[in-house]
Every structure is written in structure tokens, then in C-alpha cells.
Structure 1
């Protein structure tokens, strides 16, 4: 994979996502993340929160997507780029099977799973990673070059 140039400076935020949804994003199947408010486009660290949405594990779409995968929590698992943020027009079909009505849909692309998860604490809303955390992430993803 060729190097993907990244912007200099304050260019990345963290997003904390419950399992099993974080793993579904890492598989490439879940290309949107539902949020109550809009987010800006740009790069995000994909952080699996401490909680697992247990009822979601019984949903066929989720079960098929994560089958046989470990659901790690409390760690940064990858990097992705938010390319769009939108809501589906009222009464229109959802943009994907993962879209929730009324939610803001963060469209995710350029997903890069980390070879080794990095234990970290996240928070609600966009959060700024420490320089040390970002350095650990970039060490594992040499194809990304700030």
C-alpha cells in the first residue's frame, strides 16, 4: 500500500464506538456511524468503548458481520476518514442498512485496522488524542504519513 499523506498539525480526533459496531466498521461492512449531532469531516481514531451493546449481538446484520471476531474494548483499533456527514431526507429509505432514522450519518472511508490494539480511554463526542497515542498509532500504520 502506498503512503497516504495526512495534513500537518491538529488533523485528527478520536471517536468512541460501542462494540460490536467498532468491529463492524473495521471489517469494512459498516460504512457509516450514527450520531445525534453532525461531525466535521476528517480523520478519526476508531476507539472501542468499554461497553458492548449486548442486544445488537442478536441482530442478524451484526451477527453476520462480526462472526468469529474478537470484540475488544477500551482500545484504539484503527483509523478512518469521515468523508461526509448527513441525515437521510424525511420519508426516504436509509442510505445503508446500518443507518438509523433521524440520526446523523458519518460516512467512513479509508479504514485502516491496527495490527495491535492500543489501550486508551475515550469519551463522548470528538476527542483529541495525546501525542503519545497518535505516535503509537502511526508507528503501526507506516502507510499513513503526516
Structure 2
């Protein structure tokens, strides 16, 4: 198996997401992530925060989506591509059942779950992953081409 040749420079960031929302993204159901500030489009590592939003586990939409999935915390669990970042106009319907009013919506596509989580520390803001972390993540995705 040959190693993945990744682009040089600043082409990928990390995004930390609380569980169970990260599991909903990996399941393919949640295609919008809500943020208070806009993000640029491009590739992101999907990192799970160390905390779990316990009340969210009782939300029927979330409970149905994550049934049978583990809620891994404190690790990179996948990658995704942000293809759009927008705020829905006030008074208009939201772009997704997962979207919240009054915040920025990151539209996620090309989600790929890692076979094995990679333990890592994240941050609330977009963060730049180390080369070692990228190596460990993309070792598991030999067919990935940005």
C-alpha cells in the first residue's frame, strides 16, 4: 500500500464537535453543523470533543440516528468537506432540520469515517492539525484524494 500524497500548505483544519452530533454526521444524517462564526470552505478533520451533550441523547431525531453507534470522545473520527457556509435569512425556512436559527451553517459533504479513532486534542475554533496527526489519519484512508 503506497502512502497518500497530501497537498502542501494550509489545506485542512480540524473541527471539534460534541457527541452525539459527531455520530449523526458520521451516520450521514446531519449534513449541517451550526457555528457562531463563519468558516471557510474546504476539508476538515472531524474531531469529537471530550464532552457529550446528555440532553441531546433524548431528542428523537438524534436517538434514531445514533442507534447502535458508539459515542467516541477526544479523537479524530473522520473527515469531511465544508462546501458552503451561510446564515439563513431571518423569517425564511431553515436549510435543514439540523440547522439552528441565527447562526452560521456549515454544509458538510464527502464525509468519511475512520476505521479506528485517532486520539487527539481539539479546539473550539478551527485548528491546524499536526503533520503526525495527518499521517495517522490518512494512513487509514489510502484512497483519499483531496
Residue in 2 that maps onto 1:39 = 39
Residue in 1 that maps onto 2:64 = 64
Q: CA deviation at 1:145?
A: 3.5
Q: After superposition, where does 1:48-63 map in structure 2 within 5 Å?
A: 48-63=48-63
Q: CA deviation at 1:124?
A: 1.0
TM-align CA RMSD: 1.5
Residue in 2 that maps onto 1:25 = 25
CA pair 83-5 structure 1, distance change in 2 beyond 3 A: farther
5+ unaligned residues in a row in structure 2: which ranges?
none
TM-score, normalising length from structure 1?
0.94
Residue in 2 that maps onto 1:139 = 139
Q: CA deviation at 1:7?
A: 4.2
Look up the SS of the partner of 1:51 in the other structure.
strand
**Number of matched residues?**
143
Superposed structure 1 runs of 4+ greater than 6 Å apart? none
Look up the SS of the partner of 1:56 in the other structure.
helix
Look up the SS of the partner of 1:121 in the other structure.
coil
CA pair 74-125 structure 1, distance change in 2 beyond 3 A: same
Look up the SS of the partner of 2:139 in the other structure.
helix
Conserved in 2, the CA contact under 8 Å of 1:24 and 1:30? Answer: yes
5+ unaligned residues in a row in structure 1: which ranges?
none
CA pair 78-20 structure 1, distance change in 2 beyond 3 A: same
TM-score, normalising length from structure 2?
0.94
Q: CA deviation at 1:8?
A: 3.3
Conserved in 2, the CA contact under 8 Å of 1:5 and 1:144? Answer: no
